Structure 1
Amino acid sequence: MLFHVTMEVQLPQSMPKDQADALKAQEKALAQRLQEEGSWRHLWRVAGQYANVSIFDVPGNEELHALLMSLPLFPYMRIAVTPLCRHPSSVRAGDL
């Protein structure tokens, strides 16, 4: 099942730089692993914001919820999720 997910990161200004840097490094490593495994299909930065737009391919809502909660930056994110399905006029048969 495909999901369009927008994530906006809001780290506290009071967070020490070394703690923020460590969280960002952990987040990057996990995001890259999930992309390589295929569950995080697309990842785009939103220009001018500390935010991204992503497409996830996971079996369902519970799996997406668990994946998002596993992200190191999850406690500092505002997340919006939209379930997707294939449009009947799409010529991309592989996007199910």
Structure 2
Amino acid sequence: MLFMVEMDVNIPLGFDADEAARLKAAEKARFQELQAAGTWRHIWRVVGRYANVSIFDVADNAALHDLLTTLPLFPFMTMRVTALCRHPSSAHDDDR
């Protein structure tokens, strides 16, 4: 199943800078792992915000929830999830 996930990151002011840097590096590594596996199919930065719009390809809602909770920055994120399905006019065969 495909899901669009809008993620806003809000690390509190005064949060330890070294710990924030460590979490950001861990987040990038986890993203790259999921991208290589084909699970995190797309990511776009939202201009002017510490936010992104991403497309995930997972088995179901529970799998997406389990995956999202593994993200190192998860405690600092507000997310909006939208389930997607292939549009009949799509020219791409891999839109499932």
After TM superposition, the score normalised by the length of structure 2 is 0.97
Q: Spell out the pairing of 1:41-56 with structure 2 (5 A cutoff).
A: 41-56=41-56
Matching residue of 2:18: 18
Deviation of the 1:23 alpha carbon: 0.5
How many residue pairs match? The answer is 96
Supply the distance in 2 between the matched residues of 1:11 and 1:43 (Cα, whole angstroms): 20
Matching residue of 1:71: 71
Matching residue of 2:2: 2
Matched AA of 2:66: A
Supply the distance in 2 between the matched residues of 1:58 and 1:45 (Cα, whole angstroms): 21
Give the 3-state SS of the residue equivalent to 2:15 in structure 1: coil
Matched AA of 2:94: G
| Runs of 4 or more above 4 Å deviation | none
Deviation of the 1:88 alpha carbon: 1.2
Supply the distance in 1 between the matched residues of 2:34 and 2:93 (Cα, whole angstroms): 23
Greater mean alpha carbon deviation, residues 51-60 or residues 84-93 = 84-93
CA RMSD across the alignment? 0.6
- Identity percentage of aligned residues: 58
Give the 3-state SS of the residue equivalent to 2:69 in structure 1: helix
Deviation of the 1:94 alpha carbon: 1.5
Supply the distance in 2 between the matched residues of 1:57 and 1:48 (Cα, whole angstroms): 27
Deviation of the 1:57 alpha carbon: 0.2
After TM superposition, the score normalised by the length of structure 1 is 0.97
